[in-house]
Amino acid sequence: MVKRKKPRWTVPVGVELTEMDKKILYYQERGCLVPTRNLIKTPEQIEGIRRSGVINTGVLDLIAKEIRAGMSTLEIDRLVYDYTLSHGAIPAPLNYEGFPKSVCTSINEVVCHGIPNEFDVLEEGDIINVDVSTILDGYYSDASRMFVIGETTPEKQRLVDVARECLQIGMDVAKPYCFVGDIGNAIEKHAKKNGFSVVRDLCGHGVGLAFHEEPEVAHFGRKGTGMLLVPGMVFTIEPMINMGTWEVFVDEDDEWTVVTEDELPSAQWEHTFVMTENGVEVLTY
């Protein structure tokens, strides 16, 4: 006897089908991966995530004003912690699964999850990703920006620029009833066209009521694969683009810091989005 999969999208008996129900059921019946109902945020929840995103954006704006050569990543951490608490929120990374700081600071060949410390001091020509996540009244937001310290090499600047272009391309492709794979496919094509690679071991994710929710948003792949994206879903797109190989390793000393296998530079930009009937709305900057 073949055991059938339990459907992810169901409609209570006696409840009239909405247009969204009909569309999702159409895809589900054809074997596509569709969201569960708890991934569709209510207007009140979206507003809460938006408020969290305002503080998250404020943190990154502050870093943009203060970041400079000679600054340690520990100083960045203190700025994030103080600003977040002074606005009634909590830094989501702090103590998350043992992460010891309030922000991730990833310099040059560090792809992500770099731990702030007093010894990593920014130098002229460095590129750094500052990844901030905020909890306000139980609602989560998540975004990161790249910062170039002074003048850098043309190659590093191009990497930073293309990574940002990849995020924009992902935003443009993300439409209601598209698939996660459509986003990843477009991002990977643009990165490869420019001679760069896309990290495969890390991805974007659902967010809002928890730090990490479904779906996983890979930044590579085939069109028509991955989860169906529908109005009301909140998620990040955060492509990690490498100058050399896409392969990475985790530093054994801290078990957090992700570094490119060939130790060539990496760049990443990230926003939190809500899917609407017309495409994505940015909830963080």
Q: How far, in Å, CA of 31 to CA of 25, rounded? A: 10
What SS3 state is found at 41? coil
User: Residue 20 falls within a domain, yes or no?
Assistant: no
> Can you give the pTM of this predicted structure?
0.96
Q: What is the CATH number of the domain that holds 258?
A: 3.90.230.10
11 belongs to a structural domain: no
Residue type for position 78: R
5 in any annotated domain: no
Cβ 107 vs Cβ 177: under 8 Å:
no
Triad 232, 233, 237: Cα angle to 5°? 135
C-alpha radius of gyration, the chain, whole number: 19
pLDDT along the chain (285 residues), means of 10: 71 92 97 97 98 98 98 98 98 98 98 98 98 98 98 98 98 98 98 98 98 98 97 98 98 97 98 98 94
pLDDT recorded at residue 244: 98
Query: C-alpha distances in angstroms, 132 versus 80, 140, 248, 277?
Result: 8, 11, 22, 28
Number of domains in the chain: 1
**Residue for token digits 């760049």?**
267
Give how far Cα 203 sits from Cα of 3, 170, 240, Å: 31, 13, 8
In a domain, 132, yes or no: yes
Assigned token pair, 148: 């170039």
Determine the Cα–Cα distance for residues 168 and 150; give it in Å rounded to an integer: 24
Residue (of 145, 150, 140, 158) closest to 195 by Cα position? 158
Of 44, 60, 82, 39, residue with least CA distance to 206: 39
User: Cis omega (within 30 of 0) on the bond before 215?
Assistant: yes
- Residues 190 and 181: their CA atoms lie apart, in Å, by 14
Asked if the structure places residue 30 within a domain, the reply is no
pLDDT at 3: 47
What is the residue range of 233's domain?
A: 36-282
Q: Could you tell me if residue 109 is inside a domain?
A: yes
Give the pLDDT score at 2: 42
Instruction: List 110's β-bridge partners, or say none.
Output: 259
The reply to whether 251 falls in a domain is yes
The number of residues making up the chain comes to 285
> Which three-class secondary structure state does DSSP give residue 121?
strand
* Residue 13 located in a structural domain: no
Q: Are 139 and 53 in contact (CB under 8 A)?
A: no
Cβ atoms within 10 Å, residue 65: 8
